[in-house]
């Protein structure tokens, strides 16, 4: 049982298809923050802290961010809600651990150090985390599950339906393949 194999021991027809999985950390778009929380599970259920607000009314996890409105959206299975961005609003997304949502970010700010960079992250899926999205970073989501997903998002500007701070980019502008999960 101590024989170590090498790539030379793999069938020639498969040899060129063998690769090493990349486990390096995902590069973060400038200004984006991912905040993981402890998710406590007990016999009676679970508990996870979502936000903490300091004595100045700012989120402890994202200094300078003051909540002006909390929203919820219901995302149907298979739906892609992308791309949109805000010019004056920052937002924070939270997906409860019981749901799972594939989030996409695209830095379209021309003077950013990460201009044109895209980022993919899963929210929920048993984890409790916040995703901070700064203004000017286009964002969207896809529900890859067979169940509806609840997304809660905290914004620092109130929504005005007569003059919404929401600009749209076509869902496939970064390529249709962006919304296709990577497969091994």
Mean per-residue pLDDT of the chain: 91
Return the pLDDT at 1.
Answer: 62
Instruction: Tell me the mean pLDDT in the region 28-55.
Output: 89
13: confidence class by pLDDT, cuts 50, 70, 90: confident
pLDDT band at 19 (very low <50, low <70, confident <90, very high): confident
Secondary structure in 3-state letters for the chain: CCCCCCHHHCCHHHHCCCCCCCCCCCCCCCCCEEEEECEEEECCEEEECCCCECCCCEECCCCCCECCEEEEEEECCCCEEEEEECCCCCEEEECCCCCEEEEEEEECCCCCCCCCCEEEEEEECCCEEEEEECCCEEEEEECCCCCCEEEEEEECCCCCCCCCCCEECCCCCCCHHHHCCCCC
Question: Which domains are delineated in the chain?
Answer: 27-171 (2.60.120.10)
Predicted confidence at residue 184, as pLDDT, reads 67
Task: Specify the pLDDT at position 142.
Answer: 96
Read off the pLDDT of residues 51-86 as tens digits, 9 standing for 90 and up.
999 999 999 999 999 999 999 999 999 999 999 999
Q: What is the pLDDT of residue 45?
A: 87
């Amino acid at each position: 049982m101590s024989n170590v194999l090498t790539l030379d021991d793999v069938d020639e027809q498969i040899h060129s298809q063998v690769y090493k999985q990349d486990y390096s950390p995902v590069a973060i778009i400038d200004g984006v923050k991912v905040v993981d929380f402890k998710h406590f599970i007990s016999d009676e259920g679970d508990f996870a802290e979502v936000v903490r607000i300091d004595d100045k009314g700012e989120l402890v996890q994202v200094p300078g961010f003051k909540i002006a409105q909390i929203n919820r959206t219901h995302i149907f299975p298979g739906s892609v809600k992308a791309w949109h961005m805000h010019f004056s609003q920052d937002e924070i997304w939270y997906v409860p651990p019981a749901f799972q949502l594939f989030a996409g970010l695209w830095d379209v700010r021309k003077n950013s150090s990460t201009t044109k960079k895209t980022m993919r992250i899963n929210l929920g899926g048993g984890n409790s985390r916040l995703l901070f999205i700064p203004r000017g970073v286009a964002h969207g989501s896809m529900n890859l599950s067979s169940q509806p997903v609840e997304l809660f998002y905290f914004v620092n500007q109130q929504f005005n339906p007569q003059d919404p701070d929401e600009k749209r980019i076509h869902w496939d502008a970064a390529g249709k393949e962006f919304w296709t999960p990577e497969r091994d």
